[in-house]
Amino acid sequence: MKIGFLGFGEVATTFSSGLKENGLDVYTCLNGRSSRTVENAVNSGVKLCNTHRELAEKSDILFSSVVPSMAVEVAKTVGNHSNGIYVDINNISPSTVKTALSKIKNGRTVDAAIIGSVKRNGLKVKIIASGTSAEEILNLNQHGMNITSVGQEAGDASTIKLLRSAYTKGVSALLYESLYHAYKLGINEEVLECISETETGDFIESANSRIVSASFHAKRRAEEMDEIVEFLSEHQNPIMAQATSKFFKNLSETIQKPSKRPENYTEVYKLLNGE
């Protein structure tokens, strides 16, 4: 099986050497690339094509791993020549992925999103994939990759990544804010320990319970958050706490307190939608 890489940055470098070690032929095209990129590619022992067209025609699976701003452009360039499966693995928004994949004439496309760190995990990094040919690239798992299919629709994989990212970046900000106050008071280790104990346990169960409680006690949570905002304001402008307060206020006005505690989080969303 021949694997192609459009672009040859960190992702392509890591994946191509891993896939080579696992017995696959790896190709790229270095036209117009920086000397650093050329050096990377040559060192990794990847085979070279003279043109992007040749690369696209030859590859059974062609990964697009370019700079985000080039994702649509490069898809246009090879769209008429891609004979195999075209996998967009760039870190771009769901709508940009869809635009890029729409340029691939044979329609054999995959929206792939890397979850986690390529630097830390190498070829084994978790990848989620959606789109018409998502199932077909799962055989790369026999060559050391770690791909999970998450649906037929192009855009689903990158949406899942984006929503995960909204969550994880928000958590970073929340931690930053809470621990900063603790640090100012000299009790940061105790606070971190206490939060850590809270977060040990089944995540999905706790997520359900949090969303259900949020809906059931939105008004009280908003009031409690007002006090927390006042407290945190002593050492910083507590942007996340203010937003949390606003979120619960907004929720208490949007959703009527259910007459009994919802069973799980999807019930809460059904309520919110008046279903």
Stretch that binds a copy of itself, among 32-40, 44-52, 78-86, 234-242 (CB under 8 A): 234-242
Rounded CA separation 175/250 (Å) = 23
Residue 48 within binding range of a copy of itself, rule CB under 8 A: no
Q: Which of 20, 211, 261, 271 is in the footprint of a copy of itself by CB under 8 A? A: 211
Query: Which one of residues 106, 213, 216, 271 is an interface residue with a copy of itself (CB under 8 A)?
Result: 213
What distance in Å separates the CA atoms of residue 268 and residue 271, rounded to the nearest whole number?
A: 5
Closest CA to 177 of 215, 225, 213, 217: 225
One-letter amino acid at 13 equals T
Q: Can you tell me the distance from the alpha carbon of 214 to that of 65, in angstroms, rounded to the nearest whole number?
A: 40
Minimal distance, residue 149 CB to a copy of itself, in Å: 10
| Interface map 89-128 toward a copy of itself (x if CB under 8 A) | ----xx--------------------xx---------x-x
Smallest distance, a copy of itself to C-beta of residue 11, A: 17
What are the DSSP calls for 94-135, one per residue? HHHHHHHHHT-TT--EEEEEEES-HHHHGGGSEEEEESTTTG
Per CB under 8 A, 31 contacts a copy of itself: no
Size of the site for a copy of itself (CB under 8 A): 80
> What are the angstrom distances between the C-alpha of 32 and each of 8, 50, 51, 137?
12, 11, 10, 29
Q: Which is nearer to a copy of itself, 62 or 255 (CB)?
A: 255
Subset of 74-93 contacting a copy of itself (CB under 8 A): 93
Q: Out of 35, 196, 260, 274, name the contact with a copy of itself by CB under 8 A.
A: 196
Q: Give yes or no for a contact between 159 and 131, defined as CB atoms under 8 angstroms apart.
A: no
User: Length of the chain in residues, anyone?
Assistant: 275
Q: How far is the CB of 266 from a copy of itself (least distance, A)?
A: 7
- The dihedral built from the CA positions of residue 40, 42, 46 and 51, taken in this order, carries a sign that is positive
Q: Among 151, 219, 261, 271, which residue sits at the site for a copy of itself (rule: CB under 8 A)?
A: 151
Q: Scan residues 240-269 and list those touching a copy of itself (CB under 8 A).
A: 240-244, 246-248, 250-251, 265-266, 269
CA 251 to chain CA centroid, nearest Å: 27
